[in-house]
Structure formats: C-alpha cells, structure tokens
Amino acid sequence: MSIPLTTSYRLGLTGWPLEHSLSPTIHTAALGASNLDGDYQLFPVPPLLAGAGALEELIDCMRRGEMHGLNVTIPHKQAVLPFLDGLTPVAQATGAANTIFRRDGQIIGDNTDVQGFLTGLKSFAGHLFLDGRSRNPHSAPHALILGAGGAARGVIYGLVQAGWNVHSAARRLQQAEELVSAIQTSPGSGDGPNFLHLDILPLDRAAISDLLPAVSLLVNTTPVGMIPKVDASPWPDGLPFPPLAVVYDLIYNPLETAFVRAARAGGLIASNGLGMLIEQAALSFEIWTGQTAPRQAMQHAAQEALKPV
C-alpha cells in the first residue's frame, strides 16, 4: 500500500461527545516521537440526522486533501459508511469504520478496533487463547458482550474469527439483530471453522442469568460508566458476575469504572480499555504515516493525562 508523502499531517477524531478524548494527546505524542510535523484535532459532530452535513463535510475535506486521516468514534462508526468510497475487508465485515484514510483519490474506511481489542485482551488474559481450544464448538470458550453498537461490532467480529461462542446482550434488540446478521453474512463467516456460535439476548437479569456459569469473558462495549457519569454501570443491578470470567471494559476514562471496580471486588481479573485504545490508535497512525507507531510514547502520554490532578 502506497503512503501519501506529506510534510505536515492534519489528523483528527469525530464523534459525539469528545470532551474527554485522549486521542489528541496520544497522536500528538506519536507525531513528536516520530519526528513528524502535524496536529490532531477534535471534530465534534452530533448524531444523525443533525450531524449529517458536518460529517459529510469532514469527508469532503479529506477528499480535497485538506486532511490526511480521521478517526471515528461513537456514534458515527456506522453512520460514516455512506460517505466513503470503499472499505477494507475488516471494515466491510464488521459494518463499522473507526479509521478513515485517502488512497489514490479514494476515501477508504478501515477498522482497527478488531486487532486493537484482541491485542489488548491478550496482554492481560492470554490464557483465554489456548491453542486448539477455540476450534471445537463444544469446548470453545463463551464470551458475553454488552452492547451492539459500532465498538461491539469490532469486538464480536474479532472473537467470532478467533473461534469463540459469542453472546450479545443489548437493550436495543433490533440493533443487535442487525449486528448478528451483518457478521453472519460477512466474508469469512458462514458455517465454516471461523463461525461457531453467535446469538443475541436482552440485557437484563432474567435473560443473562442462566448463561453466566459458562462465560469466560465479559466485555462492556457501551459508554455506560464513562466520565462524567462514573457511578453508572451496564451490569444489571443485583446480578452476580460470571464466577470464572475475565472482565474487560472498553472505557478507559475513568481508569477504574464502577463495572471494573465491582468485578475486582468479586475477585475477578478485570481491565479497562486503555490497552485497546493505544493499539487501535497505533494501527491508525501506521496506516496514515507508513511508520511504525511509537507505542511506548503513546502509552506514556495517555497514562500521564489520566493521572489524578
């Protein structure tokens, strides 16, 4: 893949809200550590339909060469797709894009959430990926995913491809049904060895209870618990955690959400989403610049920014 030559990179993030995003801090550190000139800005765009014009204008800026790269977060990972000229296979399979780049005059959507999530998970729970365990439907581990938005698509697709039995629990069942349909019909799925089990259920105590003893991994992909509403949790009140599960909250600000705190109090291994944030950002940086991302510098910048004042 050819990388556009530039003397100054103009990069950014769009989504809503963006006040507490660490992306500018992380990518500014990456540019500096790589001796590259440029900046990374926030472009808050309200949800569609209100934000349609602003979202289209951002993509047009890239088409005119006024921007070199764009990250996309909640709630636009799916909404941005109609404005693009093409998708990478992963973005097409997940039906969501978090990274936009320009190649040969075309604006292309990619999804670095998938590999970012798997790399982050393996860094603290590599024991869940034992060789041979994930290719037998009867012994494959079970994952329970909370939410069915753009972030959930990357997480679920990554786990399906790794051979997991995946259960998506969502409050908006129609959104979850659309997610399952998209992944089941995506390239590499079907009834082959890369597709074992994927179903949906309501995110409530009654629906989830019977599944809990089998769950090895519990992932929150919703924004519930993010700053400023740090006392909120996506987990149903009064419902015990799966007794043997590893818990992964994609939220990184605060570093310890109410969800993670409760899981740790119950004796479970639990992690925030900082590792995923760094890895997906590093992969985006490499797409835009063609250079190896300085992950250590990016990690350090994020940790410094998250330190209590």
Q: What is residue 299's predicted lDDT score, i.e. its pLDDT?
A: 97
Return the percentage of the chain with pLDDT > 90, whole number.
76
pTM: 0.90
Residue 183 above 90 pLDDT?
Answer: no
Interval 11-17 mean pLDDT: 97
Q: What is residue 5's predicted lDDT score, i.e. its pLDDT?
A: 54
Residue 205 above 90 pLDDT?
Answer: yes
Superfamily of domain 115-272: NAD(P)-binding Rossmann-like Domain (3.40.50.720)
- Lowest average pLDDT, out of 2-6, 89-93, 167-171, 262-266, goes to 2-6
Domain residue ranges of the chain, discontinuous segments joined by + = 9-111+280-306, 115-272
Residue 152 above 50 pLDDT?
Answer: yes
Q: Do domains 9-111+280-306 and 115-272 have the same CATH topology?
A: yes
Residue 77 appears among annotated catalytic residues: yes
219-256 pLDDT per residue, tens: 999 999 999 999 999 999 999 999 999 999 999 999 99
Residue 142 above 60 pLDDT?
Answer: yes
Q: What is residue 1's predicted lDDT score, i.e. its pLDDT?
A: 44
Interval 16-20 mean pLDDT: 92
What is the overall mean pLDDT for the chain? Answer: 90
Q: What is residue 68's predicted lDDT score, i.e. its pLDDT?
A: 96
186-197 pLDDT per residue, tens: 765 544 444 557
CATH of domain 9-111+280-306: 3.40.50.10860
30-55 pLDDT per residue, tens: 999 999 999 999 999 999 999 999 99
Interval 277-296 mean pLDDT: 98
Interval 129-145 mean pLDDT: 67
**Cβ-based neighbours of 138, under 8 Å, separated by 6 or more:** none
Candidate list 77, 122, 229, 307, residue with the active-site label: 77
